[in-house]
Structure 1
Amino acid sequence: MLRTSWKKNKWMIVGLFLLVTAIVLALFSSNASLSFIDFLQALTGREGADETAFLILSGVRAPRAVAGIFCGIGLSVAGLLMQEALNNQLAAPSVMGINSGAGLFALVGSCLLHGSALLRGAFSFAGAIVSIALVLLISVYSGSRKSTMILSGVAVSAMMSAFTNLIITLRPDSVSDKAAFQLGSLQSIPMPLIVLTTICVVIGTFGALFLVPGMELFKLGDEMAMGLGVSVRSYRYLCVFLAAFLSAAAVTSCGLISFVGLIIPNLVRRMETERSRMQVLLCVVWGGALVLFADTLAKTLFYPYELPVGMILSILGAPFFILMIISRKKRIK
């Protein structure tokens, strides 16, 4: 029985182990002046603990770890929803233009409404919806929706990115670090944005679990699902809407982080091919772990210089995307 339980849940157990390891590294990885012991004493409240270590741990590293975990969760679950809804394993928030649209509108919101985390989040969500609406519109009018979906997303993403660059060029004060925003970064995120992202991602993840029955029927095909009395179109639009919501929540805090929504759902699908509910939960665990590991690497690789976490994820994601395209072509043949 123990062996059966392990075989059934091994990837969840491995993912939880990796997530805990990533959290420990994110909180306690040492730098030139403070050691692991200093941070551990600060966490446990031991008498004589270094006050600087406590301030760094509570004011910088813990919020940053929380932002990384929920950013990874949001993008991973969004990618899974989008791939299931569109029946395309190459679909992802960054590929389909959702991230770029959310980022553009978040930037507009920050220019117009300084310091309002809630309204900036609302702008970001509006941008995500506008982007995916444009992608769907282009695909429908092209006459071949599935075959042109990815190309439509790339085109919309390029257009949104161009407008983002225009705003940053004309209004350099609109974003403190251009590279960090465009590549995605977990550095110096205001606490209200972290709280907003956390709440939205939790809501969105529970929403994804609620949509699991419809996702299960997507695997049977549209005709079979409709024969069972399921409104396929409604479920598909709900999945896309929820994916946009989750992506917008992540982008609002962490910038234009790419490829998480492509890498994790495809890995999860190879771990768990049958149960959609388990796929969502695996995305939660593995998505958070991936972003935290990437952020720790970004902080320590060229210390004291720090890379945007999105740069590390792009280095990993671009080859993964190429391999996906190649394997997809071989399957078609």
Structure 2
Amino acid sequence: MSAEIKNIAVMTSGGDAPGMNAAIRAVVRTAVFYDRKVFGVVKGYDGLIHGNFITLNAQSVCNILHYGGTFLKSARCLEFKEKEGRQKAYDSLKSMGIDALVVIGGDGSFTGAHVLYNEFGIPVIGIPGTIDNDLAGTDFTIGFDTACNTAASAIDKIRDTASSHERLFFVEVMGRDSGSIAINAGIAGGAISTIIPESDITIEDLIQTLKRGTGSDRSTSLVIVAEGGHLGGAYQVAEMVKPLLPDYDIRVTILGHLQRGGAPSALDRVLASRLGVAAVEGLLKGAFDVMVGMINNAIVYTPLETALNSVKEPDPEDFRIAGILAI
């Protein structure tokens, strides 16, 4: 392993995701295991620019594995988008003697890491932490499984009241550009239809599906809508359906940010732990400007540029399964 990297910094950036703390813990303890010094950057790129570092060790990350959010905090940082801001960030790293940076986040976070590497040559590696599961180069991102479980649990509760009053519920889940949460929550929650950014379902298609459900003596129906659905959000879709199905008692529920919170699932804790270890080991072996991911249960390293520029589509098999089970 390379002896050049002695001091490693770790940060979280962008939207928080359950399992980020588990990833931080894995990075810190792996760095300590290999006799490296490790620093935490507080508040993402903003903390990087303003030199907001804390020294971490194995004890620093005790008892954080099971908590949601990120104890290092996260923040948006417009200043980092400017060359002057990135120069400040690099100067902060050098002033602390930091040789490499681990960035836990999504596409926006990785864009910043990629630019930082290209402009200043600072070794960087990304760990995919986003509930949207929209990054190529990994089967699952940290936080996705927990978000799906949270959405499915909420949908179960909504179904209870929907059944009691024979209502049609439109449930909006997160997914501005990706329908991964929606399609998985739809299958897990027994939705009659799911509307996501990647689909081409029309209102006419939806009406036919709902009428078919009435014909099969459904007393209640649930439609899952990704917040970035091509027909709009749940309120917009419900408004389009109301005049076409006037006999339906229609309600809308937006799950919102509760999907980001909560204790990470066992799957997310294990995934975060494996990726955290692999991130540090990758840096020490010279894997720079890459994202560490898991494909078919094996660790892989994907260039950040590839991860950022590749479109990850929901599995077509999920659509097929959802259609079969919705009858």
TM-score by length of 2: 0.30
Structure number with greater CO (CA < 8 Å, separation at least 6) is: 1
TM-score by length of 1: 0.30
Looking at secondary structure, tell me which structure has more strand per residue.
Answer: 2
Looking at secondary structure, tell me which structure has more helix per residue.
Answer: 1
Which is greater in Rg?
2
